[in-house]
Structure 1
């Protein structure tokens, strides 16, 4: 009588890091960065390629998030679909 095989999820090539583990490590890296808002970035991983989506506070945060994701072992590429939140323009001063 054969039982279910251990680890019967999607197969990964020998030595490859499972997408779920990559996703966890990318989340940890993003959460460790003090300039990025916790949990505001969605992460999807397929065959080692990370897709980032959501909103960040500043345009340079898009690059920070991409660098964090790309530094994780097992990541083969990063698709950066992040958008910077629009910031209201401060009213002009009446001082002229």
Structure 2
């Protein structure tokens, strides 16, 4: 009988301890998550930014979006691959930088035909 009573008390305490552990801690001033929870949020945000940039590039007729690769790390977008003309590379940078959440854009684009 006492074991069950102890279990009823221990389980909620263990849950409370897990939820307040450093892995789920927040900075009280900024209310931003830290630890693994924050990193997961960054990865999700980066994946969303990458998808938005790819979609925006697909809508541009002068850019072969299939030849331009997009990667994002902590809001910084990197474009790589090939474009046909220098103007297409400039336009790709403009399109990417206009996407919400993009902090900056780096170009590793090469001009040339496939």
TM-score, L = length of structure 2: 0.62
Q: Distance in 1 between matches of 2:38 and 2:55?
A: 23
Q: Which runs of 5+ in 1 are unaligned?
A: 3-7, 87-96
Q: Which runs of 5+ in 2 are unaligned?
A: 1-10, 16-36
The Cα shift of 1:39 comes to 1.1
Larger Rg: 2
1:79 to 2:106 alignment: yes
Counterpart position of 2:54: 27
- The total of aligned residue pairs comes to 78
Candidates 10, 35, 39, aligned match of 2:39: 10
Q: Distance in 2 between matches of 1:52 and 1:9?
A: 25
Q: Distance in 1 between matches of 2:48 and 2:38?
A: 13
Q: Distance in 2 between matches of 1:38 and 1:65?
A: 9
TM-score, L = length of structure 1: 0.73
Candidates 56, 66, 82, aligned match of 1:39: 66
**Structure ranking higher on relative contact order (CA contacts 8 Å, 6+ apart):** 1
